[in-house]
Structures are given as structure tokens and as C-alpha cells.
Structure 1
């Protein structure tokens, strides 16, 4: 088969840089960007590093957990809008929040509380880059036609979870799992899953089993693991760019060193490559 033969002026440093960048891209999956977020380069999304962020905020809030709840409720002016259903207590399509919608002891909350908390994170919490756009994980259809979700991808593809095994005890990709904090083997809310025929029910994802929970009642308590779509398509590994910059400097030196009289001897390894 034919193979690429680099021009002589390119030299080994550039080949090394390209190889290192390719290797980094192939191996990278989750990247700790050191500001409370974990980047997933497969889905091009950022996850909140803390998988039970509400409880962490409740424990650390200067005014106490009750003050956090009041702030979350105030952030949506006390009401969450949804598809009209029998649970709406402030008119069709409107649910009025109360402190009982949140459990500050465990960090769980009902569906309306989850909507309000994501709004609160966007308006009151600033990570290192000041990013907003946080939401609940969305669902989609896999190439096999089976139902998938961003959280399912994280569970199986990135953390190495197994069906019907709690993620907290079974995670083949331990290095990725250890990037996160306060992960629970429990139900987590999914976004965009209200049932049109009966909006009392939505879907969740279980990190205890790796399965989606269908027909989950909005009044039940589950956890929030916020995610946001990255503003750019590629976020390179910082280390790879350092290597690339070093190799580029070497490339400049090599190119300059080639400007010598024609009698200069060839450098070994710079000739045409061959192979089969």
C-alpha cells in the first residue's frame, strides 16, 4: 500500500508532534479542566465535576441549606413551567415550588426542583471560565435504534460501568471515575423527557443499573448531574500543545540548519520512506 512520505524540510520534530497529537486525541476521553468541570471529547460536553453539587452547595452555603433552597426558588420566581398535568398547583402548566421539593440532607429533589436548580447554577454559580448553559442530560437515539442519553454514554463509555452494577462499585475506567466527586448509585434526572400523553411522568437514568427509568413520577426525588454543550468542537489536551510547540521550535531550527552548501551530508532518516 502507499504511505505518506513527508517532504525533507519537515523533519522528525513535526512527525513527532503530529504523532503525539494523534495519540492524545485517540486516547483522550475525559479531561479535567481544573475549574470544577470535566470535558467529554466524545460528546463535546462539560460535566459538573461534583455529581451531587446541590448537597455540596447546601452544606457550604453561608446562610445554611435553607438559604440555598430559598435562593433556588427565588431564581425562578417561585414557579416552574411545564407541560400541563395534574400536579400543577398554580394553574395549568405552572408548578409553585416549596422547600419540601428539596432534600438538603441527601441532595435529591423532585423534577421541578431540578429545573429550578439548573437555573440557579446558571445565574448564581461561576466556574473558572464563567460558563453558563447548564442543563439536565438529554436523550437521543443510538445508532442501533435503542434509546440513549448523555448520562448513559458517561456511565458505559467513559466510566466503564456495567449493566445492573452500581457505578460506585463497578467502573472499569477507574481513572475517569476518580475525576468526579460525590457520584451516587441512584436515579438522576434526564431533560426533555416529559410524556406528552401524561406529563406527570418523565424519565430518569439509574447509575445503580445503567438503565433508563420510564414513567418516573415528577414528585419523586432524584439527583441532578448538570451538563453543558461546549462552545467549540475541539478542546485539545494542554500537554499536547506544549509538545506541539516544542516540536514546532525544533522544526524551525531544522529548517534553518538545512540552508547550507549543497555539499552538506544528508541526515539519516530524512530520505523517502518505504514499506508494505
Structure 2
């Protein structure tokens, strides 16, 4: 019985060691999916890779729009086969600016940023962007400034830039499946050994 107990401990230790070896390494939270889409794995959203896509696509000559025009643009948007795009919230913009692009408050995103993640995007304007976060004042909306990393209110009739995000469902990583199958295989092996030892 002592021998069987030490074998279980050995198998448990082996499983823990294998788990540590097979554990996925920390990956960048931003991933280029192609088709003009960047996945933010921290927030479970996809960003347009072109932060001034309304101009690039020819929808608008400058990319500067009122809040109502920005919402009309995002409502008709179809990129990568998806049509459920919306304006980002101030929290999503802040996450992108500070956590993903490593921006610093009161500094332009062009002055200080993470080169690898910043290079995933194009046409980020060093200016104000519309958000999907309402302000407390009627006729005003919260906006986000890439020239400083802060949010303020603006009249909905102001002309600002717009970009878009969409929510995605989490897809388990292949490493998770491998871990699950390995664990189930080990449990099956242990159950089989147990049956044999009781005979």
C-alpha cells in the first residue's frame, strides 16, 4: 500500500511538472488578425487596425465627424465580414493607450509608446476621438485624447475622429485543450491502475 501511495504522489508530481512545462507563455494582449483587425485579448474586443478608417475607406474626406455622423458611420461599417462594430468606450481607449500602447499621461502617444503594439495600428491621430460613453450633460459626449491620454466632454456637434471596436467571444487556446486531454488521460491511467490493484 505504501508503494501504491508513493506511485500516486509520483504521478501527481509528474502531472504538476508537466502542467508547468506545458503552461502557455504570456502572450501579447494585442494580436494582428489580418483583414484590418487587431484583437485585444485582455478586453475581449477587436479594434480596427486603421484608426482613421472612415477617411482611408473614402467614407469621409478627413475622418473628422460629429458624434451623430460617427455613429452613422460605425452602424454601417462592415470590416472582416463583421457588421457589429461600435464606438469604443473611454475605458477601452484608456486600456489601449496606457496598457497596450504604454502611453504616458500628458504626453502624446507619438512621443512615448510601445513600438511593437503601436506598429500594429495605422493612422492613429494625435487628437480627439469620439467614445460610446455618455456625458452627464445633455448634448455632450465623453471623448478621448491621444495627445495626453485623458477623457473630457465635448459637444456632440464638434468635429472629431472616430474608430471602432467589436466584442468577441473567448476562444480557448490550444494549450488549454492539450492540458485538459493530458489531465483526462492521466486520470484514466490512474483509474485503470486502481482497478488492477484491487483485483
Q: CA 1:178–1:7 in structure 2 vs 1: closer, same or farther (change >3 Å)?
A: same
1:211 to 142, 145, 150: 150
**Partner residue in 1 for 2:28:** 28
TM-score (norm 1): 0.56
**Partner residue in 1 for 2:195:** none
User: Aligned-pair RMSD on alpha carbons?
Assistant: 3.1
**Partner residue in 2 for 1:198:** 138
Q: Which runs of 5+ in 2 are unaligned?
A: 1-8, 190-199
Instruction: Give 1:223 deviation, angstroms.
Output: 0.9
SS of match in other structure, 2:151? strand
Q: CA 1:108–1:242 in structure 2 vs 1: closer, same or farther (change >3 Å)?
A: same
2:68 to 97, 112, 127: 112
**Partner residue in 2 for 1:153:** 95
* Stretches of 4+ aligned residues off by more than 4 angstroms: 8-15, 242-245
2:75–2:83: 8 Å Cα contact kept in structure 1?
no
TM-score (norm 2): 0.76
Partner deviation per Cα, 1:179-224 (whole Å, 9 max, x = no partner): 11111110000113144x422x21100000111122x011211111
- Provide the C-alpha distance between the structure 1 equivalents of 2:176 and 2:134, rounded to a whole number of angstroms: 44
SS of match in other structure, 1:190? strand
- Provide the C-alpha distance between the structure 2 equivalents of 1:131 and 1:150, rounded to a whole number of angstroms: 19
Q: Which runs of 5+ in 1 are unaligned?
A: 59-67, 69-102, 140-148, 257-276
**Partner residue in 1 for 2:166:** 228
Instruction: Give 1:165 deviation, angstroms.
Output: 1.0
